[in-house]
Amino acid sequence: MCGIVGYVGARPALGIVVDALRRMEYRGYDSAGVAILDGDGGLAVEKKAGRLENLDKQIAEVGAETLRGSTGIGHTRWATHGQPTDRNAHPHVSADGRLAVVHNGIIENYSPLRVELENAGVEFSSDTDTETAVHLLEREYASGEHAGDFVASAYATLRRLEGAFTLVFTHADHPGTIVAARRSTPLVVGVGDGEMFVASDVTAFIEHTRDAVELGQDEVVVITADSYSITDFDGAATGGTPFHIDWDLAAAEKGGYDYFMLKEIAEQPEALESTMSGHLQDGRIVLDEQRLSDQDLRDVDKVFVVACGTAYHAGLIAKYAIEHWTRLPVEVELASEFRYRDPVLGRSTLVVAISQSGETADTLEAVRHAKDQKARVLAICNTNGAQIPRESDAVLYTHAGPEIGVASTKCFLAQIAAAYLVGLALAQALGTKYQDEVVREFTELEQIPAAVQTVLEQMEPVRELARSFASSDTVLFLGRHVGYPVALEGALKLKELAYIHAEGFAAGELKHGPIALIEDGLPVIIVMPSPTGRALLHSKMVSNIREIQARGATTIVIAEPDDEAAAAIADHLIPIPATPTLLQPLVSTVPLQVFAATVAQSRGYDVDKPRNLAKSVTVE
Ligand code: F6R
């Protein structure tokens, strides 16, 4: 949700900043802009509504030489306050044209601040909350307590702001210095050789350095070409958390695929392997940054999973396994609903917060609510040092590598695997499974990457099928048991990528209403339970298929190879390898991802950047 970057060094900043924006465009793509200091007191700004390519064209028209200098900031926007127009694009500049700011998040007290500034005669040139910050700083620098001191004036400004934000300031009088601050939304420093970066995400500078420092909540960093200093908002040194990025530029690039999403779908076997790797040691499940003792796990008497979107679907799937293995009650709740009711939580409740980005505002607030209620919180996250794991009691990282396509794919499978590890760790601590059973479940999980690889190698017929249904107006998805959340996920992928009305249902619910939607030729995708593992559910699903076929539906059935009944009645069959029932979602999801991506491509859409969406949602 908005990508921001700052660079100070010896090289021309423009190319470095624009390349960084290109890598962070997944965070928002409503508009983009840059501000470059020429080092002689000049500040040049270019910004443009729409995708980064529009800014590229504008820079080509004005001439890159107008943006010379080796200090620069940049922004790619996902609009919150104000339409995605040129006028609302960042950077925002002070009235004297000497100060520029880029911002991610929301300044919640912007209304009273705007009134205060307007009463003082300040004229606003955008509808954004961000502009208040640049005017406040301009006034502080001109006539405040720290007049003429850019850094101290920035601290004074930051102390007046409320909300969740990352801000990056630069001033024409102070080339070679950038001030940036973090409150809830992410900010990392990239430590180069004679150059420094600040950015929302390490992908911005991975090409230049793999040494980074994570800022914590309410921290400020001042960077120059060869130094960085991190403090709290009052200027007391804090230091940040240094880390080394263990993946490289190739992982953040498309590697021959047309879209990141297609690459990420193909990377799923590896993502699963990395997520599981090292978690079985000497016959026991170990969760790396567990920070919860076996006794803590033994004390758990209820599990809550909180998450949003695709991560919520991972939680729905995990519920089946965790309840089965531990006999603990598991509730799965949309994070956006969780804290607005009065969930029953206590010291013995384990709240599992699932978030790929670790930034999602709804999930973060759910974590805070759970902690206020004294529950233990374990985060499942793909982003090192993000806010949700920082605020949780424990974290289990899904080592899926960077996920850049906006729609979550490999992180979804990794989240399911990680949640299963949590279930096995609980079963082990509680003694609800014998240790050899825990090991057997883990070993079965270890077979899944190969099964996913098999599915991936058989996707051409699915792509053909998807192309033939690309002009559908509605597609329905049906599942039962663990296949039900898979159906929900299949529908979410199709609607977000292809902008087609898609809905997932528990097949048993059909006759309670949704069957009224069935009409001639309506495509219905069915996730078939295993004919051996779930014979009863399987036979009920066969009846459901007959019911909808009788009303004209065209059925596309995902089924195991020995499912003769499915093969006999399906209008179209998508085979998947047989797996233990609880693990089936890890393979049955894959054709649905491929189906959605192919329909979207056939309709001419950019699957990496679906309309109106952003990769991380840092506002509620
Ligand atoms: C859909 C998708 C979203 C995210 C949701 C939560 O493809 O990616 O529904 O799953 O916004 O995001 P994280 O996992 O970052 O909390």
What pLDDT does residue 290 have?
63
Q: Whose CA is nearest to atom 16 of ligand 1?
A: 355
Q: Whose CA is nearest to atom 9 of ligand 1?
A: 309
Distance from the CA of 356 to the center of ligand 1, in angstroms?
7
Mean per-residue pLDDT over the chain, rounded: 94
Read off the pLDDT band of 185 (50, 70, 90): confident
Instruction: Give Cβ neighbours of residue 225 (< 8 Å, ≥ 6 apart).
Output: 8, 9, 10, 70, 176, 194, 195, 196
- The structure tokens listed for 149 are 């001191």
- The structure tokens listed for 515 are 């069957």
Q: Which residue has the tokens 């962070």?
A: 24
The neighbour count for residue 610, using CB atoms within 10 Å, is 21
Calpha distance 390→215 (Å, rounded): 11
Q: Whose CA is nearest to atom 1 of ligand 1?
A: 407
The neighbour count for residue 400, using CB atoms within 10 Å, is 26
Helix (H) or strand (E) holding 179: strand 178-183
- The structure tokens listed for 155 are 């601290």
Q: Is the pLDDT of residue 53 over 90?
A: yes
Distance from the CA of 515 to the center of ligand 1, in angstroms?
29
Tell me the percentage of the chain whose pLDDT exceeds 70. Answer: 99
Q: What is the pLDDT of residues 355-395, one digit of tens each?
A: 999 999 999 999 999 999 999 999 999 988 788 998 999 99
Distance from the CA of 406 to the center of ligand 1, in angstroms?
8
298-302 long-range contacts, Cβ below 8 Å, gap at least 24?
A: 298/429, 298/430, 299/347, 299/348, 300/328, 300/348, 300/349, 300/350, 300/376, 300/426, 300/430, 301/328, 301/348, 301/349, 302/328, 302/329, 302/330, 302/331, 302/348, 302/349, 302/350
Q: Is the pLDDT of residue 186 over 90?
A: no
Q: How many angstroms separate the Cα of 478 from the Cα of each of 299, 494, 514?
A: 37, 14, 11
Which one of 201, 310, 387, 620 would you pick to mutate in the ligand 1 pocket, going by the greatest count of ligand atoms within 8 A of its CB? 310
What pLDDT does residue 169 have?
98
List the Cα angle 333/335/338 in 5-degree steps. 70
Calpha distance 200→214 (Å, rounded): 10
555 has which bridge partners? Answer: 524
- Ligand 1, residue 415: give the atom nearest the CA: 14
The neighbour count for residue 142, using CB atoms within 10 Å, is 15
Q: What is the pLDDT of residues 208-230, one digit of tens each?
A: 999 999 998 899 999 999 999 99
Q: What is the pLDDT of residues 417-474, one digit of tens each?
A: 999 999 999 999 999 999 999 999 999 999 999 999 999 999 999 999 999 999 999 9
Rounded CA Rg of the chain: 26
Looking only at the bridges linking them, the beta strands covering 178-183 and 163-171 are: antiparallel
Q: What is the pLDDT of residues 463-517, one digit of tens each?
A: 999 999 999 999 999 999 999 999 999 999 999 999 999 999 999 999 999 999 9
Instruction: Give Cβ neighbours of residue 511 (< 8 Å, ≥ 6 apart).
Output: 547
Distance from the CA of 349 to the center of ligand 1, in angstroms?
24
Distance from the CA of 355 to the center of ligand 1, in angstroms?
7
- The structure tokens listed for 89 are 């694009």
- Ligand 1, residue 356: give the atom nearest the CA: 14
Q: Whose CA is nearest to atom 10 of ligand 1?
A: 310
Q: Is 374 a catalytic residue?
A: no
Q: What is the mean pLDDT of residues 35-45?
A: 94
What pLDDT does residue 450 have?
97
CA 493, distance to chain mean position in Å, is 14
- Smallest CA-to-CA distance from 356 within 27, 11, 101, 7 is with 27
Which one of 365, 384, 408 would you pick to mutate in the ligand 1 pocket, going by the greatest count of ligand atoms within 8 A of its CB? 408
Task: Specify whether the CB–CB gap between 211 and 82 falls below 8 A.
Answer: no
Q: Is the pLDDT of residue 246 over 70?
A: yes
Distance from the CA of 419 to the center of ligand 1, in angstroms?
16
Q: Whose CA is nearest to atom 5 of ligand 1?
A: 309
Read off the pLDDT band of 616 (50, 70, 90): confident
Q: Which residue has the tokens 């970066």?
A: 197
DSSP 393-460: SEEEE-------SSS-SHHHHHHHHHHHHHHHHHHHHHTSS-HHHHHHHHHHHHHHHHHHHHHHHT-H
Q: Is the pLDDT of residue 158 over 90?
A: yes
Calpha distance 452→265 (Å, rounded): 10
Distance from the CA of 473 to the center of ligand 1, in angstroms?
24
What pLDDT does residue 255 have?
80
Say which of 2, 308, 381, 411 is annotated catalytic. 2
Q: Is 615 a catalytic residue?
A: yes
Angle in degrees, 0-180, between the axes of helices 410-430 and 268-276, rounded to the nearest 10:
30
Q: Is the pLDDT of residue 82 over 80?
A: no
- The structure tokens listed for 354 are 């699932």
3-class SS letters over 237-305:
ECCCEEEECCCCHHHHCCCCCCCHHHHHHHCHHHHHHHHHCCCEECCEECCCECCCCHHHHHCCCEEEE
Q: Whose CA is nearest to atom 3 of ligand 1?
A: 309
What pLDDT does residue 293 have?
85
Lowest mean per-residue pLDDT among 18-32, 40-54, 56-70, 363-377: 18-32
Distance from the CA of 225 to the center of ligand 1, in angstroms?
36
What pLDDT does residue 106 have?
87
Task: Specify whether the CB–CB gap between 401 and 433 falls below 8 A.
Answer: no
Q: From its phi and psi, is residue 39 left (phi > 0), alpha (psi between -120 and 50) or beta? A: left
291 vs 538 pLDDT, higher one? 538
Calpha distance 303→306 (Å, rounded): 10
Q: Whose CA is nearest to atom 6 of ligand 1?
A: 308
Q: What is the pLDDT of residues 279-331, one digit of tens each?
A: 999 999 998 666 788 889 999 999 999 999 999 999 999 999 999 999 999 99
- The structure tokens listed for 9 are 């060094």
Where does ligand 1 bind, in terms of residues with CB under 6 Å? Answer: 308-311, 355-357, 360, 363, 407-408, 492, 496, 616-617
Calpha distance 421→400 (Å, rounded): 15
pTM: 0.85
- Smallest CA-to-CA distance from 28 within 88, 99, 110 is with 88
AA identity, residue 246: D
Beta strands across the sheet bearing 92-93: 92-93, 99-107, 163-171, 178-183, 219-224, 227-232
- Smallest CA-to-CA distance from 260 within 407, 358, 384 is with 407
